[in-house]
Chain A
Amino acid sequence: MIRFEDVSITYSDQPEPILRDINLLLEEGELVLVVGRTGSGKTTLLQAINGLVPHFTGGTLSGRVVVNGRDTRTHPPRELADLVGVVPQDPASAFVADTVEEELAFGMECLGLSGEVMRRRVEETLDLLGLNDLRYRPLMTLSAGQQQRVAIGAVLTSHPKVLVLDEPTSALDPGAAEEILSALQRLVHDLGMTVVMAEHRLERVVQYADRVIIVPGNAQPLLIGTPQEMMREAPIAPPVVELGRLAGWNPLPLSVRDARRVAGSLRELLVGQEPPIRVISHVDSGTPLVQAKDLTFRYGPHVALKSVSVQVHGGEVVALMGRNGAGKSTLLNAIVGLRTPTSGTIKTHGVDPISLKGVELLARVGLVPQSPGDLLEATTVAAECRAADRDARVVPGTTRELLSSLASEIRDETHPRDLSEGQRLLLALAIVLAARPPLLLLDEPTRGLDYPTKIRLVDVLRNLAPAGHAIILATHDVELAAEVATRVIVLAEGEVVADGKTAEVVVASPMFAPQVSKILAPYPWLTVSDVVNTVGPVILRSHAPTSGDAFA
């Protein structure tokens, strides 16, 4: 279906090729997962499939890419539109029409299909993706998960043989991600569609893949194989795989179901044991850093928060979870005084945050927004750091020092836009921390982050909490919450539906439980490192159902 022959791709402003000598054959009806660090060339590989590279992006492509007999050298993207459907990373930025139904029809109109065919396909696609209730809705009023489904539907109506998706679940809550993945499963199994998908959230997708392509970056050769083969050696893997590798399970489980089947003896080991307790250095039990009382936010007819009462003390790491649109961002914005509540009160550090401005605000609370790039205005990292020192009225050099401790490889003269997603996040974090706010808020920090950067972020957060900082994370990432949070608050429809210690809240929830706890239920262990700390690596290994595996 898709054939790469000796493909090398070089962008015009770079001396070295980003991908070199790629030979690849993807069969019909395959679900192929492409993994790799940010900037490794994943997106380039995906865009080469429909000719966006090099027709649209520029650069040189040597060798050839052939899709179903059509060579991308002679066929620009629009001539492949009936064959390859491409869903970009941020679906909202690619919408053309203004309502769902018109968006679904746009591609077909370009292909010149007849009215009856279009009508039929729109109806079929609305059903296939469960969008019928939304058909007349303006696209801008949809939630992120709905937008993602519309974007997929919009390319499906052209009946392509290949579907290419760039991080389809990274912005979604676990429930919406499940919906997308099951829709993709159906396309592969029922319609024999070839799906090529890049994704950082391996824990969500690796079990569905037929093959995995690892893009190592720096034009190194691609690694291709079945998920089992690839996960055995991948430097970073989802928790279920990590646990499987440590325990020496063979075959390596990729899904919670497979792991539970072989985890019986491990669960027996845990009987009577206590999971390690998260250290909460309850430094001050005096004035809470956040004190919300009956907080309500209303935008027109839509209620974003419904009489929420929450207190957060120093030393706590709170994970704020819930669906897209449940009110997480609204709560964070209220804490920094970006929004005036409709009713109720909010006190940040004992003060109404609306009245706080400038350094008064910075010294009390810092928020790293969903797209950290918003905070950056200067043209170099150094200028950005100097500006942050000035804003926070601290000794010049403070921000750069902080940044070096978080990410020493970021150079002064780099333009912030040229940083990777993760580096931008760390720069924004350094800027926010410059004024040493006791309260740190992060909105979706792991969105679009690759695993190595995520691990670094987890380290940073773990070190901040004992230093007396309170941290509130709004996140969809259940594994992140399991790693760092001491407390989880679940919001639904603007109301607090659960609030308690991480283990108590997430273990009980099918949606928010991390993989390890699903495997080990009913025992409340949340992460691989917790399990290792309890039983010890040697015992864990010796309880493998099969032995003789070379990986530890």
Chain B
Amino acid sequence: MKTLLGAANVLHHAEDLLLYEFDGSVEKGRPDLVVFPHSTEEVSRIVKLAMHYEVPVVGRGAGTGLSGGALARGGGVMIVFARMNRILELDTVNCRAVVQPGVVNLDLTRAVEHADLYFAPDPSSAKSCTIGGNVAENAGGPHTLAYGVTTNHVAALELVLPDGEIVRVGSRHGDTRGYDLCGLFVGSEGTLALVTEITVKLSRKAEAVKTLLAIFETIDEASQAVVEITARGITPAACEMLDGWTLRVVEDYIHAGFPRDSGAVLLIEVEGLREAIEGQAAAVEDVCRVCHAREVRLAKDEHERDLLWKGRKSAFGALGRVAPSNYVLDGVIPRSKLPQALQRIRGIGEQFGFSVGNIFHAGDGNLHPIVLYDPRNKEQCAKAIAASHEIIRACVELGGALTGEHGVGMEKNELMTLLFSEADFALMRRVHDAMNPESSLNPGKIFPLSKGCGEIRIKRKAVDVRV
């Protein structure tokens, strides 16, 4: 690898590898080797070399993922795309950008905002996560409620397959001939191919925005308001909920203006034509009042708006102040079931003896319960994971799914049997094998390892890959 990439682009000392053993999840997996390619051709050569030694390969962006997708579960070579971080082309007239996978999400928006454009997917980690990672996980964010998740904004991909072959799928205009392979690869969590170049669709900024903060005495009233907003056909650009416990922690840290004595707040944003958002904001306010909101505030200016969003986006950092660690879950339910879901989560928290906070994308039913625990306490770790499984089970029982935006990874692969049948796995497995027949790319992810539905092997030749 050093011959291939130069010594500066290869890490192999145990203390260097330690950093790559973790991501944003509660999982762990240490690579044997970390490499930093600069080009697609280098990626292809790395993959070929790894295949020669029958060593697994896993891709990684910024390592902000929350389901262990970018961890080397089976050891092997980790390809970190941080140095493939160039914006290759900007076409602001036709709203397209071609980027390398290591480009940071927010950097792309910054590069095009002079033309009143932006890249729509906006995960909370937008300041550090990479677009390659967004593609792998089909990342969402608060504003995906109105604008869709990553897959809705990807037009074409360049990929490196496990045998080193370089292929392109999709097209610059975003329409595909034959099968929609772009639609398959986005969100496949690095288990089918490595993404080395992405053509994204850029969105035009709305001419007007209104940000409202609706304050409720109870979380039940706030969730009922979300149900009503959806049922009335109002589609805000974003509709986020913070429960009372979480907003107090955030407020102590950020001073965003969240009322400390409330039971829950909704942060709702409407965007569009000036004439449209007047009516939408009024309708949102009306619904909130009908659902017993104590107060509905309108952000007066850009500063107030930024502050409210800072409160939302810094929440996970704020939580770090009150517990040694937090486990951010990700489940999804029909929006009509939001009140029941939150009640179930509360019950499960009590059952396992945890404080569970809630700060999430209420508008699209994407829950993020946060379990506070101490990772040094083995018993607490196990209980946190057990509680999370219970919560995901509850989501499925309510008609939902395992994950809305964080991915399955190695966090939920064993839970996949809650949703999928033997026949579903058999087909998914054949699709997996069509691209990644030896499971040499990102093994041990998505598919359950324990059940008799076709185990994805984590195999490796008995070679010492340490340099």
Do these two chains interact? no
